[in-house]
Structures are given as C-alpha cells and as structure tokens.
Amino acid sequence: MAKPIMARATAVWLVDNTTLTFKQIADFVDMHELEVQGIADGDVATGVKGFDPIANNQLDPEEIKKGEEDPAYKMKLKFYAAAVGEEKRRGPRYTPLSKRQDRPASILWLVKFHPELSDGQISKLVGTTKPTIQAIRDRTHWNISNIQPIDPVALGLCKQTELDLAVQKANAKKLAEGEAMSDDERRKLVSTEQSLSMEAEPKIPTAISGLETFTLSDDSEPEAEEDLPDADSFFNLPNDTDEAKD
C-alpha cells in the first residue's frame, strides 16, 4: 500500500484535526496503531508539525468524512505525483545509532570473505562511507587492531537476501569481464539456502592423490597369484623359543 509523503507529520495532523480512530489513521499512513496512539498521548513525534494532507492534495475531504462516519472505513490515498518514488531509498542505508559501532566489524567481514564486492556495494549494505571502507581495506583505521570480523546479517545491518544479491551481481560482473573464478566463488552465484542444500563435492584424499590415474601399460601383466605371499603365513612365523630348541 502506498503511503503519503511525510507520513508521521500527516498522522499528527489527522490526530489533531479529525475524529478518525487510531486504526484508521495507522492504516492510512502505514504506521502501527500504538504509534498513532503515542502521537495522541504526546509520547511520539514530539515537536513534529502537522502536515495537512488535504491542502497538499493527498487526501480528499470526502474520505475523512466517510471515515468519521464509519470507523471500519479505510481511507484511500489520492494520487499525488510528487509522492511517486518516495519509498525508494536514496544514498547509503540509514543505520540506527545503537548499531553504528558494529559497522567496522561488518565491513571487515565483507572485505575478508567477499573481496569481490565493491566499495559502493558495501556502502549500501551496511550504510557506511567509502573512506571508512578504504581505511579498513588498507588497515589504516584508527581502531583496526580491535576490530573483529562479524557477519552483517548476524548484526542486523542487512538481510541475507540483500547480501546474496550483491554477491551475485559482483560475481556476474566479474564473469562478464572475463576474470577467472574459483570453485568457492562460483558457489556464491547461488543463494545461501541453495548453497547449503547442495551436496559436497567428492574430494580425493591427499595421501592417494594421483593414484586414480595409474593404469597398466599394454605390455605389463599383473603378478601371478602364485607369486603373491599367503596371508596366513604371516601368522605362522617361527618364534624365538622354537629356534632355540632347534
């Protein structure tokens, strides 16, 4: 569902100027009902100035009237050209303050385990800047000695699907440019779920590596069975006491 621009400010205006229910306002601005209730109680959006959706051509007055008369009615957003594309994220991903200290660890993890990713891709995944990424790549970051690589998915900085997509794009670009990829890099072209479900490739133990190609020449003949020692003879060897008696 499309939501109006400045959704929170619009919710503030609707709370202050209409008798719509919290549920109706929440559905219209795509927020949680408790958040709208928090706006009404003054606990949420403190200091936010209301944004009139009628004056800004986002809501028809008749919609508000229908909603006030029927609590079950869901108001419809009026088409507003300026709101098209408002949902698209511009620039680096926003990272909450509580998780910003985890970004260097996630950058180090991406640089270490996914060197095919560009600085721009890493920047979008974890919401950081290219100078910070470069500093970690060059190990010139001020705190590099204390940074431990941690998966950004585990830290909640990005989704696994987003990471998989970025890796696939990077590998596809690398393949298009004609660069050789290792087996591990080729496995990254599939999603994590597919990779985990794939059977492990059989590997030959190092101790017998090379023996699988050994073949007998045309002129060579296998040893005759009579020339081979009998296995039982190894268990019937004379002991020292028998030799002493002789």
pLDDT digits (tens, 9 = 90+) for 175-218: 887 654 555 555 544 445 554 555 555 544 544 445 554 444 45
Per DSSP, the residues of 51-102 read --TTTTTSS-HHHHHHHHH-TTPPP-PPP-GGGTTTTS--SSPP--GGGGGG
Q: In which region does residue 42 sit, left (phi positive, over 0), alpha (psi from -120 to 50) or beta (all else)?
A: left
For residues 83 and 230, give the distance between their C-alpha atoms in angstroms, rounded to a whole number: 90
Q: What is the pLDDT of residue 41?
A: 87
Choose from 44-48, 181-185, 207-211, 231-235 the range with maximum mean pLDDT: 44-48
pLDDT of 53 over the 70 cut = yes
Mean pLDDT confidence for 123-145:
91
Cβ atoms < 10 Å from Cβ of 60: 15
pLDDT of 129 over the 70 cut = yes
Q: Write the CA distances from 143 to 103, 112, 122, 148, integer angstroms.
A: 12, 17, 19, 10
Residue 170 in contact with residue 116, Cβ under 8 Å? yes
pLDDT band at 108 (very low <50, low <70, confident <90, very high): very high
Q: What is the pLDDT of residue 197?
A: 55
Residue 182 in contact with residue 214, Cβ under 8 Å? no
pLDDT of 228 over the 60 cut = no
Mean pLDDT confidence for 139-149:
92
Q: What is the pLDDT of residue 86?
A: 47
pLDDT of 246 over the 70 cut = no
pLDDT band at 172 (very low <50, low <70, confident <90, very high): confident
Q: What is the pLDDT of residue 234?
A: 57
For residues 72 and 239, give the distance between their C-alpha atoms in angstroms, rounded to a whole number: 101
Across the chain, what does the average pLDDT equal?
Answer: 75
pLDDT band at 104 (very low <50, low <70, confident <90, very high): very high
